Chains A and B, each alone.
Chain A
C-alpha cells in the first residue's frame, strides 16, 4: 500500500525566514496531495493541495511543488510568522481508490520571534 514519508520531524526558523517541509510517496498512482496544519487539540485544517496534473501551486505565502517522477512534494512557507507555529502533515490519496488519505508523520514547526 501507499507509504508517505515526511521530513524533517521538527523545524525551527526565525520569524520572517522561509520553511520547507518535504514528503515522498511510494504509489505512483497517487493523484491528490494535500497539506494540513493542525493546532493542539484541533482537527487538521487544509492549507493547500495539489493534484497530479499540476507541478506547482501558490497561495499567498504558501506554495506546494510536486515532482511526479521523483514521487515527492514539498511545502514552502515564506515570511513565516509566529502564528505559523503548528504541526504540519502531508498526505496522499488515489481518487480511483476511494480517496483514502495516507498521512506523513508530521512536522512540528516553531517560528521564533
Chain B
C-alpha cells in the first residue's frame, strides 16, 4: 500500500496564533492532496484540494485566507490555520491518491486544540 503521514499528530495553540500542519506522501508522488476537517462525532468534510504547482481550490464556505494551503512538492502539502480561534479546534485529516487511481490514502490526522 501507500503511506501518508501527518505532522504533528496533535498541537495546542493559543487563540490568535497560527499553526502549520504537514501532510506527506512517503512512498509515492501526489500531484493532488485533499484536506478534511472532522468535528467530534461528525463526518469528514472536505475543506480544499491542494494542487502541486498551482493554487488550492476551496470548498464553499471555507475561508481561503484563514486556511492557507501550499503544495510545495510532489510529496508535501501544508495547511496553515491563521489567527486560530477555539472554534477551529478540530481533527484535520489529509489524503492523497496515486496518479490514475481512485483510491485515496489517508493520513493519521492532526488534533488541533485552540485555547
Interface residues of A (CB under 8 A from B): 31-32, 34, 36, 41-46, 49, 51, 89, 93, 95, 98-106
Contact = CB atoms under 8 A, between A and B. Distances in A.
Q: Tell me whether chain B's interface is mostly helix, strand or loop, or mixed.
A: strand
Interface string B33-74: 010000000111110010000000000000000000000000
B109 A101 contact: no
B109 A41 contact: yes
A101 B36 CA distance: 10
A100 B44 contact: no
A37 B49 CA distance: 22
Interface of B: 6, 32, 34, 42-46, 49, 91, 93, 95, 97, 102-104, 106-109, 111
B106 A105 contact: no
A46 B49 CA distance: 20
B106 A45 contact: yes
A89 B43 contact: yes
Given A32-B102, A42-B108, A43-B109, A101 B34 contact: yes
A51 B97 CA distance: 15
Contact of A104 (B43, B49, B91, B106): B43
Contacts of B34: 100-101
